[in-house]
């Protein structure tokens, strides 16, 4: 069976890596990346950084998904976790804080996330608490970096909790999501509009301009 969307591709896939792509929140502002050694390598959207940042979607044996940066870090495959700590504002990150020492360690174990398909390439992600991942409105400045943090405790879905997946590559023959490069401008704008993007034309243009080919 050939998948017609990101969610269908994940459903059709065997356990293991399914696809690679970049993530763009429908609220705009840029693409989701992990900024290493910044706030425990927090996920964030930096409006001033359009450089490539790919993610690997991996299907776990129970049908949930894990998300990891496409490029290994220090030779390790690391995974997104939704650390349930109010002091860290429920920020999605790829490092575990060590409470006693304050030193982080990489999360090298797949963390179960739930992926809900909303359209061809638009999804929502929920963490272990059942809350949505979503973009924080204010920019967080810490040290030499600033970005909109990705929080894991969003209770009400909206454009900030909906992510467009610019799929770059399918990794399993029987699990085929549409590649971003194959999506027409009309279809891209229509999908963004259906899910509440404020200025679908501007967002579509921004995604086209910065999505890695």
With tokens 């696809």, the residue in question is 19
Closest to 136 (Cα-Cα) out of 16, 23, 25: 25
Closest to 55 (Cα-Cα) out of 69, 35, 73, 72: 69
pTM summary value: 0.94
Helix/strand/coil for 25: strand
With tokens 């609220």, the residue in question is 27
With tokens 């429908």, the residue in question is 26
Whether residue 8 has pLDDT greater than 80: yes
Whether residue 87 has pLDDT greater than 90: no
Confidence band for 1, pLDDT divided at 50, 70 and 90: very low
Distances (CA, A) of 79 to 57, 93, 111: 10, 8, 7
Least confident interval from 71-85, 93-107, 136-150, 152-166: 93-107
Query: Apex CA 104: angle with CA 98 and CA 105, to 5°?
Result: 100
- Domains, the chain: 6-210 (2.80.10.50)
CB 155 within 8 A of CB 127: no
pLDDT of residue 100: 59
Per-residue pLDDT tens over the stretch 120-152: 999 999 998 899 999 999 999 999 999 999 999
Q: Span 165-178, mean pLDDT?
A: 96
Confidence band for 213, pLDDT divided at 50, 70 and 90: low
Instruction: List for the chain the helix, strand, coil content (%; round to 5).
Output: 15, 35, 45
- CA torsion sign for 35, 80, 131, 91 is negative
pLDDT of residue 2: 42
Confidence band for 4, pLDDT divided at 50, 70 and 90: confident
Whether residue 165 has pLDDT greater than 80: yes
Per-residue pLDDT tens over the stretch 17-48: 999 999 999 999 999 999 999 999 999 999 99
Question: What's the chain's average pLDDT?
Answer: 92
With tokens 């399918």, the residue in question is 170
Q: Span 144-163, mean pLDDT?
A: 95
Please, which residues bridge with residue 113 across strands? 65
CB 188 within 8 A of CB 211: no
State the distance between the two ends of the chain, measured CA to CA, in whole angstroms.
26
Distances (CA, A) of 212 to 40, 73, 165: 26, 19, 12
């Amino acid at each position: 069976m050939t998948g017609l969307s990101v969610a269908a591709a994940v459903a059709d896939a065997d356990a293991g890596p399914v696809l690679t792509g970049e993530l763009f929140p429908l609220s705009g502002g840029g693409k989701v990346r992990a900024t290493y050694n910044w706030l425990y390598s927090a996920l964030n959207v930096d409006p001033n950084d359009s450089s490539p940042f790919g993610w690997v979607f991996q299907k776990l044996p129970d049908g949930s998904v894990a998300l990891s940066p496409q490029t290994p870090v220090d030779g390790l495959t690391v995974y997104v976790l939704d650390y349930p700590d109010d002091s860290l504002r429920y920020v999605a990150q790829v490092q575990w804080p060590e409470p006693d020492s304050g030193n982080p360690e990489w999360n090298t174990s797949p963390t179960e996330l739930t992926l809900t398909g909303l359209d061809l390439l638009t999804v929502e992600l929920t963490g272990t608490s059942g809350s949505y991942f979503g973009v924080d409105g204010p920019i967080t400045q810490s040290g030499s970096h600033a970005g909109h943090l990705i929080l894991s405790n969003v209770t009400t879905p909206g454009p900030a909790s909906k992510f467009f997946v610019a799929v770059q590559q399918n990794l399993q023959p029987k699990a085929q999501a549409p590649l971003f490069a194959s999506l027409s401008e009309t279809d891209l704008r229509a999908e963004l509009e259906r899910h509440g993007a404020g200025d679908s034309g501007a967002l579509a243009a921004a995604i086209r301009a910065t999505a890695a080919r």
